[in-house]
Structure 1
Amino acid sequence: MFFVRLDLRLHRKIVVIDGEIAYTGSLNLVDPRYFKQKAGVGQWVDAMVRIEGPAVQALGALFLWDWVVETGQDIKALMETRNLKTAPQVGSANVQTVPSGPGSKSDTTHQLLLASIYAAHSELIMTTPYFVPDESLLTALLSATKRGVNVTIILPEKIDSMLVRYACRSYFDDLLTAGVRIICFQGGLLHTKSITVDGEIALFGTVNLDPRSFWLDFEVTLSVYDPDFGARLRALQLRYAEDTQSVDLQSRQKRSARERFFENTARLFGPLL
């Protein structure tokens, strides 16, 4: 037990009903009106998606995998008592269920994120509560603006970690200079993790844009190839954008030396956040 890591976290949120319907997204099983109210961030703002079809089986299997890891129960015995029948296709959306975590042999979600950014032709909109990009993610975003993609990042104005807040803001100057639009949500702690690419491709799930989500937490992402779902998710993102305040480079240049120091210091801890 001495050698067991204590910083690993099961961050997936999965509900599977009768093997036919599933939900996933950013919502924890807690009343957002009361969750971490002492943190002074307001109500947590989340989103979930309802899923039918073959993707339900994938989420159910992922849940069973997590259950076996935690309990040590026999996976074969569990599968015999669970209904994991393949659900029929009920719509036109192509959905890939992409799990990630320390148990994976590759950084699939991180590579999927980078591929999606590089695939953007005209527009990229991202929402995340925690934004601490590694070098490859930062380079992908800066490259997107250089090829004419309109990049918008929607972040909460307040979050429940001061260290992450300062680390996040240390990247603002580079992004703003490159033409990335950064807007801060004023209506609470925006906890939705979503990306839309050209309004047609969508990534949605539990992954924050930080090293912890990429390499330490057990996460799940839905990669959805469907213009209708992409349009709906983009509409939600734009509703978030209505209650925001833009971050501009001119105001950033007026921040105090104390704030600059805290940002630069917090950035040093970025790989650990």
Structure 2
Amino acid sequence: MQEHLIHLRALLQDYWPHLALGLSVVLGVSAAIHAAMTKNDVRAAISWVGVIVMSPLLGPFLYLIAGINRVRRQNLLEHGAEVFREQASYLYPPVSDVGPLAGPQFRSLQILGDRVSRSQLRNGNNVQVLDGGDQAYPAMLQAIREARSTIALQSYIFDSDRLGREFVQALAQAHQRGVQIRVLVDAIGAKYSRVPVVRLLRREGIRCALFMTNPLGFMRMPYANLRSHRKLLIVDGAIGFTGGMNLRESFMAQYTDGHPSRDTHFRLEGPVVVQLAASFAHDWQFTTREALPHSQWCADNWQAPKPHVPARCICTGPDRFMASTHHMLLGAFAVAQRHIRIQSPYFLPDQILLGALNTAARRGIQVDIVIPGQNNLRLVNYAMTAQLDQVLRAGCRVWRASGPFNHSKLITIDGAWSYVGSSNLDPRSLRLNFELDVEIYSRETARHIQNLIDKEIEDAQAVSLESLGAIPFGKRLRNRLIWLASPYL
């Protein structure tokens, strides 16, 4: 036995370069074939094949970790979510024609939404715009404190700071009243706090879970490339909150000496809340295998106060609904007749969306794009700057907002259609993250949102080709190099 071990060790010492070469070839070829056969985006396929070929052993390992979509949602989960989603919506039948409400050009957009969304467009919804944390967080806390039966809370980031502890306390008091509570936090977003909020929640006996904690099974690490970016609060199955706001004290004036970061959130009532609850139930069952029964988590009577507006949820993620938001935005930009307003903290659309915006501008549509003057992600800001000339040359107007960082994700078309929620216009939101947005056919809501955007434009600095050209060459080169990596930011 000892002789065999000595002989094997000698063989390894003599032939390990050949064995390493053979292993790298097998792994590289296998990974490259998998990327070529499974990636629908040619740029993604070429990028991954390049990484695999240029890094013989490291490349296949990186592809194994970050390149393979392991999210396979069971048909049972999908079916359960559909039943949950539409069970109580019979009170308001699907909207047959949005033309009289928004304009005839939106009829084709409604058909597109019917085909790419899991949810039907239904009337009977009330939408309240909440401008900033000083409006959103008190409204959310009030709903939690008045909860009678259930609370479902989902967030990408739920900090354990002073605001986060206020939410934990409100949830703990509701739990003591006998309210059923489920809290779902993304595994990556939970790491923004040194003391994870789930530790505080579990200490209070509140059911909580981390989304995508260990999808690889054999590796004790989060799968950082797929994240739940959704922000949801559903109380008693009747009141819903969604939008762009995480739970962080930096968005409250009282915790920032009167200079909070900005964001926009929405309070919803009506059939769309059933769709919000269905999205949460789907993600919760996917994460914990616990099914949330519709009879307990949706209200029996959820008549919304007037005005009533048509709305629906658009859920996206790296599953069979990956391109839903991408399709919706392409359709919206195509039907615009007067004005497109976009506010996004991370504006890095792909070439297809850039083409749609540029085509709209060349058709004579006024396209206004508002981005932060001071961004919280420096690399993303560099990449955005490198790409702005592509929309400016087509006639789009780009504005860098002044004041505190604004995290809002808002789009309006012709003052009649709005698209709001958690999605950014960047590769991560459009292809990797699990996102939730709401399309709203309402002139009143669109007017409110466009006023928020126009207010930002009033004090903003216009970006021009001349101002971009005045940036020193070294910084322009830096921006361009970082832009090349934008799909991975």
1:45 corresponding residue in structure 2 = 262
**Alignment CA distance shift 1:34-1:265 (3 Å):** farther
Q: CA–CA distance in 2 between the matches of 1:193 and 1:45?
A: 11
Q: Deviations over 1:105-142 (max 9, x none)?
A: 44111100111111111100000000111010110111
Matched, 1:58 2:298: no
Using the TM superposition, give the Cα deviation of residue 245 of structure 1 relative to its aligned residue in structure 2, in angstroms: 1.2
Aligned partners of 2:460 and 2:439: how far apart in 1? 27
What's the counterpart of residue 166 of structure 1?
382
SS at match of 2:312: strand
Q: TM-score, normalised by structure 1?
A: 0.91
Distance 1:159 1:43 in 2: 14
In structure 2, distance between residues paired with 1:50 and 1:81: 21
Letter in 1 for 2:284: W
Mapping of 1:191-206 within 5 angstroms?
Answer: 191-206=407-422
Counterpart CA distance in 1 for 2:288 and 2:301 is 25
How does 1:66-85 map onto structure 2 within 5 Å? 66-73=283-290, 75=291, 78-85=293-300
Does structure 1 conserve the Cα–Cα contact (< 8 Å) formed by 2:277 and 2:298?
no
- Larger mean CA deviation between 256-265 and 241-250 belongs to 241-250
Q: Which has the higher strand share?
A: 1
**232, 243, 250: which one aligns with 1:14:** 232
- RMSD (Å) for aligned C-alpha atoms: 2.0
Greater alpha carbon shift after TM alignment, 77-86 vs 94-103: 77-86
TM-score (norm 2): 0.52
Query: Given that residues 61 and 84 in structure 1 are in contact (C-alpha distance below 8 angstroms), is that contact kept between their aligned partners in structure 2?
Result: no
Quick check: 1:57–1:85 contact (8 Å CA) kept in 2? no
- Contact 1:60/1:84 (<8 A) preserved: no
What are the equivalent positions in structure 2 for 1:63-142 lying under 5 Å apart? 63-73=280-290, 75=291, 78-85=293-300, 87-88=302-303, 90=305, 91-142=307-358
Deviation (angstroms), 1:86: 6.8
Contact conserved, 1:186 with 1:244, CA < 8 A, in 2?
yes
Secondary structure of the 1:170 match is: helix
Q: Which amino acid aligns with 2:294?
A: M
Contact kept? 2:343, 2:371, Cα under 8 Å: yes
Cα offset, 1:88, TM superposition: 3.5
* C-alpha separation in 1, matches of 2:238 and 2:358: 41
Offset at 1:33? 4.8
Between Structure 1 and Structure 2, the one with more helix by share is 2
Whether the 8 Å CA contact 1:134–1:271 is kept in 2: the answer is no
- Residues 162 and 104 of structure 1: is their aligned pair in 2 closer, same or farther, counting only changes over 3 Å? same
> Once the 2 structures are TM-superposed, how far is the Cα of residue 43 of structure 1 from its aligned partner?
3.4
The answer to whether structure 1 residue 154 and structure 2 residue 370 are counterparts is: yes
Asked whether 1:265 is paired with 2:265, we answer no
TM superposition shift of 1:89: 5.6
Flag the 1:210–1:183 CA change in 2: closer, same or farther, 3 A. same
Rounded Cα–Cα distance in structure 2 between residues aligned with 1:18 and 1:233? 27
Deviates more, 1:167-176 or 1:79-88: 79-88
Once the two structures are TM-superposed, the CA of residue 85 in structure 1 deviates from its matched residue by 4.1
Q: Structure 1 residue 44: deviation in Å? A: 2.0
Residues 18, 46 of structure 1: alpha-carbon distance in 2 compared, 3 angstrom cutoff: same
Letter in 2 for 1:6: A
**Conservation of the 8 A alpha-carbon contact between 2:240 and 2:273:** yes
Aligned partners of 2:237 and 2:274 also within 8 Å: yes
Deviations 1:149-206 (A, max 9, x none): 0000000012122221111111111211211111111111110000000111100101
Higher relative contact order (CA 8 A, sep 6+): 1
Q: CA deviation at 1:98?
A: 0.6
Note if 1:143 corresponds to 2:359.
yes
Residues matched between the structures, number? 266
User: Any stretches of 5+ residues in structure 1 without a counterpart?
Assistant: none
SS in 1 for 2:347: coil
Percent sequence identity over aligned pairs: 32
**Matches of 2:480 and 2:391, distance apart in 1:** 15
SS of the aligned residue for 1:24 comes to strand
Distance 1:134 1:56, change over 3 A: same
| Counterparts of 1:270 and 1:7, CA distance in 2 | 14
- Stretches of structure 2 that go unaligned for 5 or more consecutive residues are 1-216
Alpha carbons of 1:239 and 1:178: their partners in 2 closer, same or farther (altered >3 Å)?
Answer: same
